[in-house]
Amino acid sequence: MESKVRVRFAPSPTGYLHIGGARTALFNWLYARRHGGVFVLRIEDTDRERSTDEAIDAIINGMTWLGLTWDEGPFLQTDRLDRYSEEAQRLLAEGKAYKCYCTSEELEEMRKAALDRKEAPKYDRRCLARSESEQAACEARGLRPVIRFRCPDEGTTIIGDQVKGEVVFENQNLDDFIMVRADGIPTYNFAVVVDDYDMNITHVIRGDDHLSNTPRQVVLGQALGYRIPEFAHLPMILGSDKTRLSKRHGATAVEAYRDEGYLPQALINYLALLGWGYEDQTVFAPEELIAKFGLEAVGKSPAIFDPAKLEWMNGVYIRELTLPELAGHQKSFMQAAGLPIEMYEDAWYLRLAEITQERLIKLADIVGLSDFFFSRVPFDPVAVEKVLRKEGTKDVLEKAIEVLSDSFTFEAHEIETRLRALAETTGIKAKFVFQPLRVAVSGRTISPPLFETMELLGRDTTIERLGEAINLLEPQDE
RNA sequence: GCCCCCAUCGUCUAGGGGCCUAGGACACCGCCCUUUCAAGGCGGCGGCGGGGAUUCGAAUUCCCCUGGGGGCACCA
């Protein structure tokens, strides 16, 4: 009987949840859900300089928005300090770790000297054999020791990685890394090992930037007598210039995507495709992702983040929304942009959602597509020049006013019938009657479908705008 | 400098010795639909980094090179 799957996402709270972190969280979550396992959230906040509560909130908010629900945690490493020092003391007592009184300056010098000699910087173990009296002398000088792990200097450490396969490291290339800082706070490589053990983590799924750290963690875990978890190192996500994805590649914070109007399911779907694939399929509902996800299908090579494909994916999911869902989202974005949304009824928004649904890439796009419904926007100069100032436009506008003033239900289909009839009787090509009307009514050459737009605007406003367009043309025409 | 990882269209990828004349998706370019913009349909452009080796046969296996990425902190 294989033990229950337990995975974790362990971000350090030094900033917002970024795309890379979200992808790691997603793969862990998928793996847990796929195997009926447990997903643990652990906050690695041992870097007290850079960790903030705001970042913790941002991570939690981001994951919640994405729907990556965790089953245990969030656990904070700073709440577990006693446990780490307990294990550190044990290693010290067993002679598997030792105190080091070297100062940062000394270490820096050593590093530089090694580099000058073209050697790998590696701690020279000058503190390994310090006698009790030497140590006492250091203490007396006010020096606070760090604790170093006594790394094995022979043999190899083999990582059986679920993604990368078997990776072999020579132990002699490892050095006696610091487990506990002078202030008593554990370093990452030590805290993870203790945590993953205490939290019974069975599979460590993380970015492959951690692959090089893995042998240190394994060797340390072995010294502590721990069962070593399975590892799966995911390929990195890179920017368009093939370097690690960062702010200079554009938005990397999950929250930024939310604010621009990306749907969480779209981001999830897109992220899942970064490093993982399933046959020829591109669009996956969450349940499908869970059912089909597997570490064996995770690729080994890094993936470049492509905003264009994400945009397309978002459009796909926007089109899958029900009208009430879309309308709800649109209202929030319109409100956030300062549009007076109380101006219209719910039914109106449903209709707006209907005619704009397939025109949106991001939810925020609704603002630029609907602002003119709330008040006149300035005429686009190019539109005025190319469409309105055309021979006969004024005539068309005047006739349209007449037609639209007739008594009939002011509904898209009716409007269309009458306006088409107008084009028919005047012998003007449909295009040349509709485009001027569009510009008159919306101020632009690009708008939602014309007749629906008029319907949503209402008869009075529509006629009023046509009149305003005529006025604009007056001086030139007379 | 040392250690590790990676390498199929511009991008994400399928492919795991003959089914490959290398498939799909995004992007791009045409055409169709059409009152604009979209959406949709159809079509096109475009790739196995290089060199050896194994084999009757290599995108698929092995080696070297090159290129890219990551690590070598009292960061995680």
Subset of residues 225-284 in chain A with CB less than 7 angstroms from any atom in strand B: 235-236, 238, 242-244, 273-277, 279-280, 282
Beta strands in A299-458 (DSSP E): 303-304
Q: Which among A57, A82, A58, A67 is positioned nearest to A30, based on CA atoms?
A: A67
Q: Which nucleotide is nearest to A192 (CA to C1')?
A: B76
CA atoms of A191 and A194, how far apart (whole Å)? 5
CA atoms of A291 and A305, how far apart (whole Å)? 24
Q: Which residue has the tokens 């598997």?
A: A96
Half-sphere exposure (Cβ direction) of A400: Cα atoms closer than 13 Å: 34
Q: Which residue is nearest to nucleotide B74 (CA to C1')?
A: A181
pLDDT at A2: 56
Q: Which among A221, A127, A212, A129 is positioned nearest to A174, based on CA atoms?
A: A212
Residue type for A179, please? M
pLDDT at A21: 95
pLDDT at A73: 83
Contact flag, residue A418 CB and nucleic strand B, below 7 A: no
pLDDT at A1: 44
Catalytic residue numbers of A read 247
Half-sphere exposure (Cβ direction) of A196: Cα atoms closer than 13 Å: 30
Q: Which among A278, A275, A264 is positioned nearest to A313, based on CA atoms?
A: A264
What is the helix (H) or strand (E) element at residue A413, kind and residue range? helix A412-426
A92 CA to B64 C1' distance (Å): 46
Nucleotides on strand B lying under 7 Å from protein C-beta: 1-8, 10-14, 16, 23-27, 35-40, 68-76
For A443-477, the DSSP string reads SSS--S-HHHHHHHH-HHHHHHHHHHHHHHHHHHH
A239 CA to B50 C1' distance (Å): 26
pTM of the model: 0.94
Name the stretches of chain A with pLDDT < 70. 1-2, 475-478
Subset of residues 128-187 in chain A with CB less than 7 angstroms from any atom in strand B: 144, 146, 164-165, 167-170, 173, 175, 177-178, 181-183, 185, 187
pLDDT in tens, A148-169: 999 998 999 999 999 999 999 9
Contact flag, residue A54 CB and nucleic strand B, below 7 A: no
Q: Which residue is nearest to nucleotide B11 (CA to C1')?
A: A306
CA atoms of A395 and A451, how far apart (whole Å)? 19
Residues 6 or more apart in contact with residue A241 via CB below 8 angstroms:
A249
